């Protein structure tokens, strides 16, 4: 493995799946240790392997200019100079995508019947399929573990990145689970109590916060705390299933049933009515 820089240490041109903006990422610190940007690594590899074409030595700035001047109508008028001044710029794309059709389907339309799904042996008409771990999908399991646990990203971590920094952990507060008042009352749990969250795969200790953040039967635990910083050295993913999703074969991190009960605080911890905010 070769040490690569993070976005804090290198120049990059960034877009997103979720919005219509392009932005310039510039370093705010020098690369740590022996880390270099991937683009610099490629340049070094090209030299070492004897590739002498000029394209293999283009600087990051040259690569950004090439990307912006590639002829895409969406990037018309967006330059490196503008990005340096404005930081982020909306691309020239209609505000109502697909208003004229143009879907990536054989007909170019929204297809309620998908021949592609039929060819895969799947139901060609979309219907509700209950999650494998849910009251509808596994009622016997739900009788023992009636709480659906979801683990969205914590505000001060980037997935697990930065969770090793004491400053970020201090801002995030304690490893927390947010419970609906109805679920908390049924278990005699108040904000600040330490609780055991468990299923057949394992258990973790978290500090409870009670409020209307989710509907009854759903608990939320912002993640991902490193195991070494969790009570008992056990992280939240001990609760997640290894079962892949039915379509795509991805991880099913948000399809997990658990039970929640009061427990003793970790060593050195006391009950705090507002542990994390």
Tell me: do 72 and 184 sit in the same domain.
no
Residue 170, burial from CB neighbour count under 10 angstroms (0-12, 13-18, 19+): exposed
> Does residue 116 fall inside a structural domain?
no
pLDDT digits (tens, 9 = 90+) for 225-251: 999 999 999 999 999 999 888 878 888
Q: What is the pLDDT of residue 273?
A: 53
Tell me: do 145 and 258 sit in the same domain.
yes
pLDDT digits (tens, 9 = 90+) for 12-28: 999 988 889 999 999 99
> Does residue 267 fall inside a structural domain?
no
Count CB atoms within 10 A of the CB of residue 126.
12
Please answer whether residues 214 and 148 qualify as being in contact, where contact means their C-beta atoms are separated by less than 8 angstroms.
no
Q: What is the pLDDT of residue 277?
A: 42
For residue 43 the two structure tokens come to 């340049």
Could you tell me the CATH number of the domain that includes residue 247?
2.40.40.20
Tell me: do 65 and 175 sit in the same domain.
no
Confidence bin at 269 (pLDDT 50/70/90) = low
> Total domain count for the chain?
2
pLDDT digits (tens, 9 = 90+) for 191-210: 999 999 999 999 999 999 99
Domain span holding position 179? 141-262
Confidence bin at 276 (pLDDT 50/70/90) = very low
Whether the predicted pLDDT of 274 surpasses 70? no
What is the Cα–Cα distance from 91 to 229, expressed in whole angstroms? 41
pTM over 0.85: no
> Is the Cα torsion angle 244, 250, 254, 260 positive or negative in sign?
positive
> Does residue 150 fall inside a structural domain?
yes
């Amino acid at each position: 493995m070769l040490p690569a820089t993070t976005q804090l240490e290198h120049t990059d041109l960034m877009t997103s799946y979720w919005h219509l903006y392009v932005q310039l990422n510039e370093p705010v610190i020098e690369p740590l240790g022996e880390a270099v940007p991937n683009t610099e690594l490629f340049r070094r590899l090209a030299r070492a392997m004897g590739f002498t074409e000029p394209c293999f030595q283009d600087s990051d700035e040259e690569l950004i200019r090439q990307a912006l001047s590639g002829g895409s109508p969406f990037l018309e008028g967006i330059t490196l100079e503008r990005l340096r001044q404005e930081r982020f710029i909306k691309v020239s794309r209609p505000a109502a995508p697909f208003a004229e059709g143009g879907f990536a389907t054989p007909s170019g339309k929204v297809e309620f019947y998908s021949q592609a799904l039929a060819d895969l042996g799947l139901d060609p008409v979309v219907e509700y399929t209950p999650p494998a771990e849910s009251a509808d999908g596994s009622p016997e399991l739900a009788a023992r573990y009636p709480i659906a646990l979801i683990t969205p990203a914590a505000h001060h971590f980037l997935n697990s990145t930065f969770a090793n920094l004491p400053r970020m952990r201090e801002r995030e507060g304690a490893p927390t689970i947010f419970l609906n008042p109805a679920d908390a009352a049924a278990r005699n749990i108040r904000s600040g109590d330490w609780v055991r969250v468990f299923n057949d795969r394992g258990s973790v200790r978290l500090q409870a916060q009670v409020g209307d953040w989710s509907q009854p039967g759903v608990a939320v635990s912002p993640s991902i705390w490193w195991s070494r910083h969790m009570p008992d050295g056990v992280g939240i993913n001990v609760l997640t299933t290894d079962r892949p999703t039915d379509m795509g074969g991805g991880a099913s991190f948000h399809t997990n049933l658990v039970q929640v009960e009061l427990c003793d605080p970790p060593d050195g911890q006391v009950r705090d009515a507002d542990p994390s905010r």
